[in-house]
Amino acid sequence: DADVTQTPRNRITKTGKRIMLECSQTKGHDRMYWYRQDPGLGLRLIYYSFDVKDINKGEISDGYSVSRQAQAKFSLSLESAIPNQTALYFCATGGSEDTQYFGPGTRLTVL
């Protein structure tokens, strides 16, 4: 089984809808991250969490919110989706070493 899982893998939604992307990990890591990937821009950090009680905004947090329900779960919400939030979204974890481990991604399309 994969160490970092994301659901759904693909989602098409309409402008104005609320949507939640979920991430679960079995690596036992404290640190979890949400990124979005856009062509030519690499990965940009949306939110990160160093433990259940520690959540921080990243470079591009506007229009997004997160919830760290447990050490293993970190959800990303779009309260009112807009077309320019169409992107590939990745969850990642980080442990005691510096490496980050990525989930398979969620492809979100906002019409």
Partner 1 sequence: AQSVTQLGSHVSVSEGALVLLRCNYSSSVPPYLFWYVQYPNQGLQLLLKYTSAATLVKGINGFEAEFKKSETSFHLTKPSAHMSDAAEYFCAVTEGWNFVFGPGTRLSVLP
From 19-27, 60-68, 72-80, 98-106, give the range in contact with partner 1 by CB under 8 A: 98-106
C-alpha closest to that of 87 among 18, 3, 16, 21: 21
**Shortest Å distance, C-beta 80 to partner 1:** 27
Residues that contact partner 1, how many (by CB under 8 A): 24
Residue 52 CA neighbour count, 13 Å, CB half: 6
Q: Phi-psi bin for 56: left (phi > 0), alpha (psi -120 to 50), beta?
A: beta
Is 74 an interacting residue with respect to partner 1 (CB under 8 A)? Answer: no
Contact yes or no for 4/92 (Cβ under 8 A): yes
Among 1, 42, 53, 70, binds partner 1 (CB under 8 A): 42
Is 64 an interacting residue with respect to partner 1 (CB under 8 A)? Answer: no
Is 27 an interacting residue with respect to partner 1 (CB under 8 A)? Answer: no
Query: 74 is written with which tokens?
Result: 């970190």
DSSP code for 9: S
Is 90 an interacting residue with respect to partner 1 (CB under 8 A)? Answer: yes
- Contacts with partner 1, residue ranges (CB under 8 A): 4, 31, 33, 35, 40-45, 48, 50, 58, 90, 92, 94, 98-105
